Structure 1
C-alpha cells in the first residue's frame, strides 16, 4: 500500500491526438451536395466550424482506428509526464466506439505502449465516459493499491456514417450527426506521488439520472443477424438534448461546488459540456459563472465524444495558475449521465 497525500490524485500530463486534416463545413457541403443555405444553417444553429475525421471524406476509407489515436495520445502523455510504461500500474479507458467488442481497445493500446501486468478497465459510455474513467482511476488510486494510472478516452464515430448518403433525404436526427461529430483521443497520467505545482483532481462525480427518460442518442452495433433491421447506425435527439443538458449541467455544477466547498467566485476556469458551439454558448450562459474563464474547443475539433474532456484539460492546464481552480462538466445523453470534476493547482 502506498502513502497518500491529502491533496490526493494529481494530473502529471495530458496528451491528445486528432486524425488527418481538419474538415470544414464547406468541404462537407461539397462532398454531400449541400448548398450554401445548409452551410449557413450549420453556422447559425450548430456553431461547429471544423472537425477531424478518421475516415477519408472523398474515398470513405478509414484512415485511423481508435487504438491508433489512443496510442498516440497515451504516448504523448507518458512522454510529457516523464513516466515509463513500466511505472504505470493501472489503465482505464472510456469510449462509446471501441474498435472491436473483443479484444478491448484499452488492452490493445496498453500492449502497443509496452504496458503489462497491470489492472485495466474499459468503460462503455458516451461523452461522460472520460469523466467516468477519471472517477474509476481516482477511486482505485485512493485505495493505495496503485500509484500511477494512464486514463484514456476517445471515439471514432465517422466509421458509422455512410459517406455516399444523400443528406438531403435524411431525417434531422441523422443529418445532424454529420456536422456535430469528429474523431479523436486523449490521455492523462494520474498519480498519488508528490508533484509540486501539479493540478490536483480534488473531486470527481458521475450520476446516472435517466430513469424513465427516452435515450437522447443512439449508436448501433450490429452483426450478421440484425444488420438489415433498417435502424440507422447513429441518431441524435437534438431537441431533447437542448431541453435537458443545460439543466443537468447546472445541477452538476451545484453538486461540485457543494462537494468542494467552493463559492461560484472561487472558480477561475469552466470546462463546459461540448456538444456543439451553439449549445456550449447556451449552457455557459445558463450556468452563470460570470467570473470563470471558459475553456472550450468543440468549434475546432467537433464533438469527438470521450476525447473532448482531454482536449479541454490540455488547454486548461496551460492556463491554470498557482492556487487557481477549475470545474469541468460533461453530460452523456444516450441514457442521461451527468458528470463533473474539480481541479486545483497546488
Structure 2
C-alpha cells in the first residue's frame, strides 16, 4: 500500500464527470426492449437501479458518444475546476474495461483532443478497480519527483455491447439483468504534487487476489464486426454477491489499519457499487456505521470505471476541514481489491 505518511503530499485538486444524453428510466428501457409494463417496477424493487445514461440512441441504436467524447468532456471539466490549462498536465493515466478501439488507445485520443503532447500517457485495461489503479499509478509517478500534475481518467461505454433490436424477453435472466445494471460515463480528476486546494490523498492501493479463483465476470472483445456467437458479457452473480462484500470490508480495513485510523474517524465512505440493492449489502458488510455513504449508482447505473469519479464529485462538494473518507472498488473479473483515503486539511 502507498501510504503518504500522514502528510498532504498529493492533493485531489478537482474532479469532472460526463454522462451521455438524458437519463433513461426502467420503464423507458423496458418498453424499448419489448418487455412488459411491470418490468420497470420489478427492476427498481429487486435491482435497485432507477436510471442510467447510454451512449447510443435508444430508439435508433445509433452510437451518439464514444468513450473519447466523454473522457474529453470530463477532462476539460476537471482542468477548468482546478484552474489549469492542458499544458499544465505532466502525465495522463486512464483506466477502462471497454476502450473505443485497441489502437490508438483512448487515453491518447483524449490527449490529442485536449491539446496535450510531449508527456507520458498510460492506459490500464481493468474492470471496476481501474479508476483506483489509475490513481495509484499516477500517485506513484508524482511521488517519484518527475511530475507535478497528473490527469487521471476512467470510464466505460457498455452500450455498444447491446443490440437494441434484440428479443430481450427471450434472454436468460443473467443477460437480462445486465440491461438494468450498466450505464455509460467517464470521469477525470487532477492530482497535484503542488500546494493547492483539495483533499489530501493519504493512501491508495490495488491488489490482485484471484489466485486459483474462477472469474466472476468475463467480457469478450469482438469489435465493430459483432462476429460473436455467445453473450459478450457474462457474470457469476452468486460468486459476486458472496465475494464483493467480503473483499470490500477487507479493503476498507486495510486502508484504516495502514493509516492507524479508527472506524469512528471516518466522515464518509465510498463503497463499491454494482446496483442499488447490492450496494446496500456491501455497505452492511463493511460496517462503518458512523460514516456517511456516498453513492450514485441508483441514478447513473453501473458505469464501470466512471463510478469512482461520480462518487468523488459528490464527496468533494461535501467535505469540510478535518473530514476523512475511504473509498473502495472491487473488480470481479479476476478479483482485484483496491482502496484509497482522502482527508480535508
When the two structures are superposed, what TM-score results if normalisation uses the length of structure 2?
0.96
Match for residue 255 of structure 1? 254
Aligned equivalents of 1:22, 1:258: Cα separation in 2: 39
Aligned equivalents of 2:293, 2:226: Cα separation in 1: 42
Match for residue 83 of structure 1? 84
Q: Is 1:109 matched with 2:110?
A: yes
Q: How many residues align?
A: 341
8 Å Cα contact 2:101-2:223 kept in structure 1: no
8 Å Cα contact 2:57-2:64 kept in structure 1: yes
- Unaligned runs of 5+ residues in structure 2 are none
Q: 1:223 to 1:53 in 2, by over 3 A?
A: closer
3-state SS of paired residue (2:150): strand
What is the root-mean-square deviation in Å for CA atoms of aligned residues?
1.5
Aligned equivalents of 1:173, 1:200: Cα separation in 2: 40
User: How many angstroms does 1:37 deviate by?
Assistant: 3.6
Aligned equivalents of 1:266, 1:71: Cα separation in 2: 36
Q: What CA deviation, in whole Å up to 9, does each residue of 1:252-271 have, x standing for no partner?
A: 01100111110000010000
8 Å Cα contact 1:90-1:119 kept in structure 2: yes
Match for residue 237 of structure 1? 236
Aligned equivalents of 2:223, 2:110: Cα separation in 1: 24
Match for residue 41 of structure 1? 42
Q: Is 1:286 matched with 2:285?
A: yes
- Unaligned runs of 5+ residues in structure 1 are none
Aligned equivalents of 2:303, 2:137: Cα separation in 1: 21
Q: 1:109 to 1:204 in 2, by over 3 A?
A: same
Aligned equivalents of 1:223, 1:142: Cα separation in 2: 37
| Correspondences of 1:151-230 after superposition (within 5 Å) | 151-195=152-196, 197-222=197-222, 228-230=227-229
8 Å Cα contact 2:222-2:228 kept in structure 1: no
8 Å Cα contact 1:94-1:152 kept in structure 2: yes
User: How many angstroms does 1:173 deviate by?
Assistant: 2.1
Q: Is 1:16 matched with 2:17?
A: yes
8 Å Cα contact 1:177-1:236 kept in structure 2: no
Match for residue 338 of structure 2? 339
Match for residue 126 of structure 1? 127
Aligned equivalents of 1:295, 1:66: Cα separation in 2: 24
Aligned equivalents of 1:210, 1:165: Cα separation in 2: 34
| Correspondences of 1:60-75 after superposition (within 5 Å) | 60-75=61-76
Aligned equivalents of 1:302, 1:340: Cα separation in 2: 21
Match for residue 298 of structure 1? 297
Q: 1:341 to 1:45 in 2, by over 3 A?
A: same
3-state SS of paired residue (1:309): helix
Deviates more, 1:227-236 or 1:246-255: 227-236
User: How many angstroms does 1:167 deviate by?
Assistant: 1.4
User: How many angstroms does 1:228 deviate by?
Assistant: 4.4
User: How many angstroms does 1:172 deviate by?
Assistant: 2.1
User: How many angstroms does 1:229 deviate by?
Assistant: 4.8
Q: 1:244 to 1:179 in 2, by over 3 A?
A: same
User: How many angstroms does 1:84 deviate by?
Assistant: 1.0
Q: What CA deviation, in whole Å up to 9, does each residue of 1:165-208 have, x standing for no partner?
A: 1112112221111000000000000111012x420110001011
Q: Is 1:275 matched with 2:287?
A: no
Aligned equivalents of 2:15, 2:281: Cα separation in 1: 28
8 Å Cα contact 2:6-2:259 kept in structure 1: no
Aligned equivalents of 2:45, 2:228: Cα separation in 1: 34
3-state SS of paired residue (1:176): helix
Match for residue 307 of structure 1? 306
User: How many angstroms does 1:38 deviate by?
Assistant: 2.3
Give the ranges of 4+ consecutive aligned residues of structure 1 lying more than 4 Å apart after TM superposition. Answer: 226-229
User: How many angstroms does 1:35 deviate by?
Assistant: 1.5
Q: 1:83 to 1:182 in 2, by over 3 A?
A: same
